[in-house]
Amino acid sequence: MIKNHHKNTKSQIIDEERVAVITGTSSGIGFETALAFAREGYYTYATMRNTSKSDNIKEISQEENLKIDVLELDVDKEHSVKTAIKQILDQKQRIDVLVNNAGWGIWGCVEDVSIDEFKAQLETNFFGSIRLVQQVVPTMRKRHSGTIVNISSYAGRIGFPMSSAYTSSKFALEGLSESLRLELAPFGVNVIIIEPGIVNTNFFKPMRMAKKLELDTSYKNMTDEIIPRVISKAKLGIHPKEVAKRIIDAVKSEIPLPRYHIGDDAAEFLEARRSKTDIEFEDYIKKRYAYGNILLWD
């Protein structure tokens, strides 16, 4: 780590070295994004809840001589967030890019997802991002520069059945991001929303099922039929490297757009949302979520 013992040279290096902080980097989008920023010359903090899953990123970092520090950070815990960000700022005195990527999902219709399950979903996907923002923004404001990237989904703008808690968390994140972008604009800080379609990662493997789905609820046939079909589409999803590249391109843009979507499925759904009336779009979703030869909705 760079110390402050030798005043001029060392402090100058600190001042010039760009710093990126990415959450949820043990796999998938976070993993590829951390590598992408390090390859762009950023001193990158690859944070994750369980650092025992860091062997892969450490190995690549050593092979390519990348500046990557793996750091424990649990976005659900305020103390963990504060401790990690303090450590970064003590070492580098700056954070240029924050990528809020950590997240997970739960399957289930609204009646089948308990209040506690809804709270747990939002705790990570929504409040986790707020915790990071509140700790990082002060240093960005003081420097009058910086970029916050919030990883949403096309499910952050379209309500999908059987993933109501996940969709709600992403809608909330999008609203937060839009407000934050306006609040931070006078201070020279950018806020960007990234909306991937289905990504070929292990995201669906740990995705939880609402506990009530173990019972024979009114929605069980629906979820039993459709959820496996959605999961199977992950194999056709975009590679997380494509998402990482879009993030890098957005951050490097002179005037970043408020949001960027990625993937043919995201483009298709979002174009349908834009071009159709609400009722027309509902019909579109109903047909897309039909199973067998029977529509779920009349």
- Residue 239: helix, strand or coil by DSSP? coil
Matching residue, tokens 């998402």: 243
Residues whose CB is less than 8 angstroms from the CB of residue 4 and which lie 6 or more positions away in sequence, other chains included:
10, 11, 14
Residue 260 is among the residues annotated as catalytic for this protein: no
Is position 118 within any domain?
A: yes
Question: Would you call 208 exposed, middle or buried from its count of C-beta atoms within 10 A (0-12, 13-18, 19+)?
Answer: middle
- pLDDT confidence of 11, banded at 50, 70, 90? very low
Residues in the chain: 298
Answer whether residue 119 shows pLDDT above 60: yes
Given this model, what pLDDT does residue 10 score?
39
Of 89, 92, 68, the C-alpha closest to 13 is 92
- Whether 5 shows a pLDDT value over 70: the answer reads no
CA nearest 231: which of 197, 254, 204?
A: 204
Is 91 contained in some domain? yes
Residue 91's pLDDT band (boundaries 50, 70, 90)? very high
pLDDT band at 34 (very low <50, low <70, confident <90, very high): very high
Task: Quote the pLDDT of residue 195.
Answer: 98
pLDDT at 59 over 80: yes
* CA separation, residue 18 to residues 32, 113, 166, 180 (Å): 18, 42, 33, 22
- Which of 130-139, 141-150, 194-203, 273-282 has the least mean pLDDT? 194-203
Report the pLDDT value the prediction gives residue 2, as an integer from 0 to 100. 35
- DSSP three-state, residue 259: strand
Asked whether residue 77 is domain-assigned, the answer is yes
For residue 294, is it within any domain? no
Domain count, the chain: 1
- Of residues 125 and 212, the one with the higher pLDDT is 125
CB atoms within 10 A of CB 221: 12
Window from 59-68, 145-154, 187-196, 208-217 with minimum mean pLDDT: 208-217
Report the sign of the C-alpha dihedral through residues 106, 111, 112, 118, in that order: positive
Q: What is the mean pLDDT of residues 105-111?
A: 93
Tokens of 253: 């843009």
User: Between these two residues, 56 and 16, which has the higher pLDDT value?
Assistant: 56
Query: Is 260 part of a structural domain of the chain?
Result: yes
Residue 20 lies in a domain: yes
Average pLDDT score over residue span 84-107? 97
CA neighbor of 21 nearest in space, from 77, 122, 89, 103: 89
pLDDT score of 50? 96
pLDDT attached to residue 111: 95
Measured between alpha carbons, how far is 75 from 82 in angstroms, rounded to an integer?
Answer: 10
Instruction: Let me know the angle formed at the C-alpha of 294 by 268 and 265, rounded to the nearest 5 degrees.
Output: 15
Between β-strands 259-262 and 190-196, what pairing exists: parallel, antiparallel or unpaired? parallel
Report the CATH number at residue 63.
Answer: 3.40.50.720
Residue 269 to residues 194, 204, 283, 289, Cα–Cα distance (Å): 15, 20, 13, 13
Give the pair of three-digit tokens for residue 283: 């019909």
- What's this model's pTM, rounded to 2 decimal places? 0.90
What is the mean pLDDT of the segment spanning 212-241? Answer: 84
Mean pLDDT of 139-167: 96
Asked if pLDDT for residue 234 goes beyond 90, the answer is: no
Q: Are 151 and 100 in contact (CB under 8 A)?
A: yes
For residue 50, what are its two tokens? 């369980």
The model's confidence at residue 168, banded by pLDDT at 50, 70 and 90, is: very high
Q: What pLDDT, on the 0 to 100 scale, is given for residue 16?
A: 76
Active-site position among 42, 45, 154, 166: 166
CA pair distance 106, 92, nearest whole angstrom: 37
Q: Is the pLDDT of residue 277 over 90?
A: yes
The better pLDDT of the pair 8, 178 is held by 178
User: In the 8-state DSSP scheme, what is residue 207?
Assistant: P
Least reliable range by pLDDT among 15-29, 41-55, 216-230: 216-230
Given a cut of 90, whether residue 15 has pLDDT beyond it is no
Average pLDDT over residues 13-22: 79
Confidence class for position 221, pLDDT limits 50, 70, 90: confident
Structural domain of 172: 12-288
Does residue 298 fall inside a structural domain? Answer: no
Q: Give the mean pLDDT of 14-24.
A: 86
What does pLDDT average to over the chain?
90
Give the count of beta carbons closer than 10 Å to the beta carbon of residue 16. 8
Q: Does 1 fall in a domain?
A: no
